[in-house]
Structure 1
Amino acid sequence: MGENSALDGAVPRISQGIEVYAGKDGAVSWSGVELTADVMRELREGPWAERVGDLAATRDFLTELRGLATTDMETDTLKALLASEPEPLPWQVGEALAEVLLEHWHGALWLWDGARDRRTRKASLPGADLVGLCVADGSARLLFGEVKSSSEQSAPPGVMTGSDGMIHQLEKLSAKDDHLTLMKWLRFRCLTPEHKAAYQTAAGRWVKSMGKDVQLFGCLVRDTAPEPKDLSNRAKELAKTVVEPMHALLTAWYLPVAMSSWPDHVGVLDHG
C-alpha cells in the first residue's frame, strides 16, 4: 500500500491480460481474459510466487529456525525436514494467482496471506476462498469470493456446477448466514490503523444495507482455450440471486501453462 491510505487503492500494477469475452446481467458481470507470455513473466518474477509461498515471512521463519540449530546433528535434521517440504498444489497456486490479479486489477485488499493459515501440508481452509476488502473511489466494501482451477476440456467445467460448484458457493455467500463469521475473521487481521479504517468503512456499508452491500468475486483459472460458455450461462443463473447493491464479478483467466506445472512455474521452494 506504500504511504497511501488503504482507501486510495494504490497498488503496483502489472500488465493487463487480453479480454476475449465479456457480459453483464443486472448486478453480475463476467469476462474471460488471456494471460500473455509477458504477463506470465511479470507474475513469475514477483507477486505470484510471493503470494503462493508468503516468501518474506517464510524467509524470516527459516532464518530463525537455522539460528536455533547449534549442533551438526540438529542442522542436518533441519535440512532434511526442509527438503521434505512438498511444493504447493496446483489449486493453491491457482488461488494465489487469483488473489494477485484481483489485487492488481480489481481493487482487492488482502489483510492476511492465506498461506499462513494452513495448518497441514495439503489442507484447504474452511469457508470462503477469498475474504478481504474491495477498495474503489475512496471507499471500501466487504469482499467474499471463490476460486476454482480446472484443466477439464468441457465448458463449463465441473467445478462451476453442482452443490460444490462455484455458482452454488457464491449463492450461499450472497446470503447473510456466514457474513458475521467471515467479518470477524477479517476484523482480527486488521493490524494497521489504515486497514482498521477501511474495514470500518466496509462494515458500515454492510450494516446500512442490511447485509447486502458486498462485492463477490468468482475466479476460474484455466489452462484451456478461452470459451464463453465457461461463465455466461452460470453468470446469468447467479444474477437471479445477486441483486443491487450487491455486485458479483466472474472472471476466467486462461494461462498458456499447463495446470500440472503451475507449481514449477512459480518455483517458490528455496530453502537454501
Structure 2
Amino acid sequence: MAWTEAYSVGTESVPAVGYDLQDEDARALAVPIQELLQDTKGAEDVRRSLEEVTRTAFRIDRLETVLSATGAVSEWRVGESLAEYHLASQHSCVFPWPSGRDLKNPGTSGGGVDLIGFDTSGENAMLALGEVKTSRQQLWPPSALTGRHGLEKQLEGLRNNDDRKTWAVRYIAMHAVGKDWHGIFAEAMVRFLDDPQDVRLFGTLVHVTDSNELDLKTRAKNLSDGCPPATKIRLTAMYMSDQGLQIMAGEQVQWETPQ
C-alpha cells in the first residue's frame, strides 16, 4: 500500500512524519497485521518442530487449540503490530523475536521496550529499539505522548542510556543464542559494544483521530536537543478511525484509552 503523508516536521537529527490511513488502507494491512498479532510464523515453527509427535487428528486439534489461544485484542497490541509492520516494510528493520511471545497473558502489557530488533539498512546491522503508544484521546498531543511514562520520556531515557536500554539488549541477546539470525545480532553487538549510543530509536504514535502535526513537532525538537551523533531517532504518527483499527485487528478491539 502507499503511505499517505499528512505532514513532515521535526529536525535534521530527528525526522517526524505523520500518515493518514483510510479504511481501505486498513483493509490492505489487515493480513500482515493479523499475522503479527497471531504470531503466524512462530506458530508454524512450533508445528514443524512437533511433526513427529502430532500424528493423530486428536493431537493436532489439541495443538491448534493451544496455538490459537490469543484472547482479547487490546488496542496497544494492534498499535505495536502496526508499528512493527511499518518499520519492517519501510525502514529495513527486523524483529526476529516478537516480545508478544513472552506474554503470559496477551491481554496484559509485558513492560519494557516495545520493539527490539535490528536496522539492516546500512552496511552493518545496528540495534533498533522502538516505543509505541496507541490512543483515542482527542487531544494533540495526547497524554500518551507527554505523560510521565509517555513516548517522549521513554525515548529520552533510551537516548540517555537508561536501564531499559540495557535490559532490552540483554533480552535480545538471550534469545539470539543458537538462532539463524545470530549473525545479524553479532553485527549489531559489535557496534553497540564499541559505542552504546550507536543505536536506532523509533517512536510511533497510533492516534485514532484526525492528523495534526502538533503531535510530533515539539517532541522532535525536544529529542534532538543533546542527541548523541551516533544515535538515530525517528518519530512516526499514524492516524485512522476506530473502524480502521478494528479492520486491521480482524475483530473487536478492546479499547483502553478514553476519547
* TM norm structure 1: 0.78
Partner of 1:86: 71
Contact preservation (8 Å) 1:171, 1:241: no
Q: What are structure 2's unaligned runs of at least 5 residues?
A: 253-259
**Is residue 198 of structure 1 aligned with residue 181 of structure 2?**
no
Give the Cα separation in 2 of the matches to 1:191 and 1:197.
10
Between 1:130-139 and 1:100-109, the stretch displaced more is 130-139
State the Cα distance separating 1:91 from its structure 2 match: 1.1
Partner of 1:4: none
Partner of 1:181: 167
Partner of 2:116: 131
Aligned counterparts, 1:119-268, within 5 A: 119-178=104-163, 179-190=165-176, 195-209=181-195, 211-258=196-243, 262=246, 265-267=248-250
State the Cα distance separating 1:175 from its structure 2 match: 2.2
Between 1:183-192 and 1:60-69, the stretch displaced more is 60-69
Amino acid at match of 2:40: L
Structure 1: which 4+ aligned runs deviate by more than 6 Å? 59-69, 81-84
Give the Cα separation in 2 of the matches to 1:213 and 1:268.
39
Q: Relative to 1, partners in 2 of residues 1:214 and 1:39: Cα closer, same or farther, differing over 3 Å?
A: same
Partner of 2:97: 112
Q: Relative to 1, partners in 2 of residues 1:192 and 1:109: Cα closer, same or farther, differing over 3 Å?
A: farther
Give the Cα separation in 1 of the matches to 2:56 and 2:45.
13
Sequence identity (%): 28
Deviations 1:44-78 (CA, angstroms, capped at 9, x unpaired) = 13x1100011124446769979978969xxx89x9
Equivalences, count: 246
Contact preservation (8 Å) 1:30, 1:250: yes
Partner of 2:256: none
Please tell me the root mean square deviation across aligned C-alpha atoms, in Å. Answer: 3.1
Give the Cα separation in 1 of the matches to 2:107 and 2:125.
33
Contact preservation (8 Å) 1:52, 1:268: no
